[in-house]
Chains A and B, each alone.
Chain A
């Protein structure tokens, strides 16, 4: 994708460049950026741009100041600016003279500030920035809820929404919608696109005008809008090359022609932002004609609140209407009530706590980095205290001395921020590339002007707090005291501050290490949860039969049977089967049912997920079955044989054997015998318990998606082409659903299981990286403090040794000091973990934040890493030559 250069860099350059050539330079840079991006890719272009930006700073700054100076210097303000600039130059030169110190401090700060800026970018994109729709805070999602059934959020039935809409006054517009795959055929390759079937009022709810052409509206004469389609910017550029002439032409969707009336602007993804996929087409549909059942809650709805109406107004109003509807339609609505949720909350959902946790961890790392650099700055200031005292004695104003120390640390922090800012770019693109798939709006995360502002703010705060203590000392140090204490090392106070900052670093490192040990433990536990089937050696391929092309249920069944026959005949195939919604595919259909001979009131009517399967499904997936599997003879439209899972058997047949019992399904249409009890499968994700499920023959199934499964003795991927050919032999125009960025049409089942852990893996990885950073910082910090102590105490140690202390005693003395710091650090670190425990537990699977074994492991790991860093300088202390110390005296 070609785009303009990053806005932040342009903005910064725009501030710095001289007005006379600003536009020309920016224009040239833009031009070259676009060219390089086309030739060598985005990262090369970014590097080039950043390099040019840096190179342009020097001449521009010099030019500005050399012209501005003589004029302002004549005023009082000018003199202040002048002296400030002199101070900056002095601080700059002083930093320049000690490159090791400067590089260490700047690198440490850059890492911490960069990580924070990147996190801010993500948090800002996901949590802070409002959605991109006009008046987005008025957009809500509607749904029916059934507390007893723990129903998923956001589903409702068509007639119920129609009644809500007719009676409620809180809404300006409300529209049903439902997402799904649609096949695009005709010109070009057939492909599946993500489609949103919507009521025309949908576009009023989201209030966004078309980029090209128009949208449709609720007031439009119905039938005309029902054969139109509105394209996404993405599909428009991908399939139609972004041509504006597209409006008025036809698009074949699921076999029927739709007139393209408009294209939405880039980034508009209404509906898709909820399901977490980019929508390609919005298709106006007459929902009223689609279903009249109040109990078929398989539709979603979005609404726009009237100006002035609040979410709680709407909730109160709808719940009155809903309870009235339950009274009128007890059979369908009893136990169901209404719900209203702000659209943004729907999208952000559970990620809030995770993000805040990561941000808190980042803030801790920044704190550790500050403590680390703070020690460096303090030592630097201590080393120069005698110098400062002399300057004071000679008449330097204390303001100047304080200012110097502060300026130096602010300069360090700003340099760290500048470097960190570049780092944040790299980090964010890495995060976007790693996209775990469950973070909404991640693609829009960027380091922009807000991020830059945040970074600079952090940097100045860091710089000031770093310099504050040394500056305070500089302001009050008496000449005599200082000169005297300069010989015996740091004063007691300074030592205490230094120890305090070391403890802070240790505590943070321990906390993050223990936290990431917890996260890793939770992840490993989750990964070891048996999914209920054996995923190795199974290849999957999914098709979605189009209603228009294969309208009859019998034809769909024939298609399935024909494909399965071919798959079973493939060489090397042990068994082949079909299921309509594969575990972890995110889809399911729930229905109520009755156990024959056991009437139930509508509130406690049993319910279960319905899956359509073929014979051999359990054998192919290696799911245990008690009783028997389906046979070919069971494949009839009104099935007389079904399987139920263990959870259903336990919940609804407690103490009885369900085998041979009969259940009534599909609103009484079907009565079938339970011929087998099949093992539980984690259908949604490994961390959600199995739900009651009924497996019916695929002939009774009316979902249009079909996933074929092939188990073979060899590498399943090698069967990919054969499986694709088998499906295309039956129907050459039937596209296979593509999965993931590589758009794979056949996917190993292993891959599907492991992808379902993407979010957890991502979080664990982030925490582990942060913990690693904190450990490095604290170990370096600790060993530096010991080393400084050794240097400062050389005289004392030498004297002790001269007076008879042996090397072992010296080592003991040094280690005692270290042990004290480390113990306090460990205790404080554990306290941090326990305090943040609740937030952490939200992302731990089946584990409390107080898990003692894991916490101890974290602490032990830290000690193991820290030991050599402590030992090395301590051993150096034992090698001090007492004779030499005495000679130096």
Chain B
């Protein structure tokens, strides 16, 4: 499996950065739903976070158990330097490919 974050993973990484220290499943999902207009299930968010954690792109820690979660702990995530690097790279790849094509007639919105 490649180490480059796919599109969903990029969305999640960006949401993590936006949310700062407060990032866990619920706000990440609502950030993506609200800002990007993409529908995504919580399980998919966590699956992606799990993959990225194994790759070292994010790191996580647990809060104390909370009564409003039925006594479960909250798992918080943060982007690691390597995650940030991967995200930047992904953006640059896209920008390089886009370079000079913004006004290309084939890409005009119809």
Contact = CB atoms under 8 A, between A and B. Distances in A.
- A and B pair up: yes
Given A24-B24, A25-B25, A32-B26, A56 B72 contact: no
Most buried by B among A20, A21, A55, A57: A21
Contacts of A55: 39, 41-44
Interface string B44-79: 101101100000000000000010111011110000
A37 to B, nearest CB: 11
Interface string A7-30: 000000000011011011111111
Contacts of B44: 55-56, 59
B26 A25 contact: no
A57 B43 CA distance: 8
A254 B46 CA distance: 58
Given A27-B73, A55-B41, A21 B68 contact: no
Given A55-B41, A56-B42, A59-B41, A30 B47 contact: no
Contact of B72 (A20, A26, A52, A57): A26
A188 to B, nearest CB: 28
A320 to B, nearest CB: 54
A30 B68 contact: yes
B50 A21 contact: yes
B43 A17 contact: yes
B47 A28 contact: no
A4 B41 contact: no
Contacts of A32: 26
B61 to A, nearest CB: 12
A859 to B, nearest CB: 52
Interface in B2-18: none
Interface in A37-68: 52, 55-60, 63
Contacts of A58: 41
Contacts of A26: 70, 72
Contacts of A25: 25, 42-43, 46
Contacts of A17: 43
A63 B24 CA distance: 21
A31 interface: yes
Contacts of A63: 47
Nearest to A21: B46
Given A23-B72, A24-B24, A29 B42 contact: yes
Contacts of A31: 26, 66, 68-69
Given A21-B46, A60-B47, A30 B41 contact: no
A23 B73 contact: yes
A34 interface: yes
Nearest to B63: A27
B43 A56 contact: yes
Contacts of A29: 42
B47 A21 contact: yes
Nearest to B30: A32
A21 B43 contact: yes
A20 B75 CA distance: 11
A373 B39 CA distance: 35
B24 A28 contact: yes
A24 B70 contact: no
A59 B43 contact: yes
A56 B70 contact: no
Interface string B20-41: 0000111001000000000101
Given A20-B50, A21-B46, A28 B41 contact: no
A60 B43 contact: yes
Most buried by B among A24, A25, A26, A56: A24
B49 A28 contact: no
A442 B57 CA distance: 52
Nearest to B54: A20
A215 to B, nearest CB: 27
A844 to B, nearest CB: 47
B68 A24 contact: no
A32 B73 CA distance: 14
Most buried by B among A17, A30, A34, A57: A30
B33 to A, nearest CB: 12
B71 to A, nearest CB: 9
A30 B73 CA distance: 11
A52 B26 CA distance: 12
Contacts of B70: 4, 26-27, 30
B69 A27 contact: yes
B43 A30 contact: no
A56 B40 CA distance: 9
B32 to A, nearest CB: 13
Contacts of B49: 21
A25 B66 CA distance: 14
Contacts of B26: 28, 31-32
Nearest to B29: A28
Interface in A164-189: none
Nearest to A18: B47
B47 A59 contact: yes
A24 B75 CA distance: 6
A34 B71 CA distance: 13
Nearest to B26: A28
B73 A52 contact: no
Nearest to A17: B43
A463 B50 CA distance: 38
B69 A30 contact: yes
Nearest to A23: B72
Interface string A715-750: 000000000000000000000000000000000000
Contacts of B74: 24, 27
A31 B24 CA distance: 12
Contact of A24 (B25, B39, B41): B25
Contacts of A56: 41-44
A28 B42 contact: yes
A16 to B, nearest CB: 9
Contacts of B73: 23, 27
A15 to B, nearest CB: 13
A21 to B, nearest CB: 4
A11 to B, nearest CB: 13
A27 B24 CA distance: 11
Nearest to A62: B47
Nearest to B44: A59
Interface string A211-245: 00000000000000000000000000000000000
A172 B77 CA distance: 59
Contacts of B41: 52, 55-56, 58-59
Nearest to B41: A55
Contacts of B46: 18, 20-21, 24-25
Nearest to B40: A55
A66 B70 CA distance: 30
B18 to A, nearest CB: 18
Contacts of B68: 30-31, 34
A824 to B, nearest CB: 51
Contacts of B66: 27, 31
B16 to A, nearest CB: 14
B50 A18 contact: yes
Interface string A136-150: 000000000000000
B34 to A, nearest CB: 14
Given A25-B42, A30-B68, A55-B41, 10 more contacts: A21-B49, A24-B46, A25-B25, A27-B74, A28-B42, A30-B70, A30-B72, A31-B66, A56-B42, A59-B41
Interface of A: 4, 17-18, 20-21, 23-32, 34, 52, 55-60, 63
29 contacts: A18-B46, A18-B47, A18-B50, A21-B43, A21-B49, A21-B50, A24-B24, A24-B25, A24-B72, A24-B75, A26-B70, A26-B72, A27-B72, A27-B73, A27-B75, A28-B26, A28-B42, A29-B42, A30-B68, A30-B69, A30-B70, A31-B26, A31-B68, A52-B41, A52-B42, A55-B41, A55-B42, A56-B44, A59-B41
Interface of B: 24-26, 29, 39, 41-44, 46-47, 49-50, 66, 68-70, 72-75
Closest 8 A/B residue pairs (Cβ) = A56-B43, A55-B41, A21-B46, A27-B72, A27-B69, A28-B25, A24-B75, A59-B44
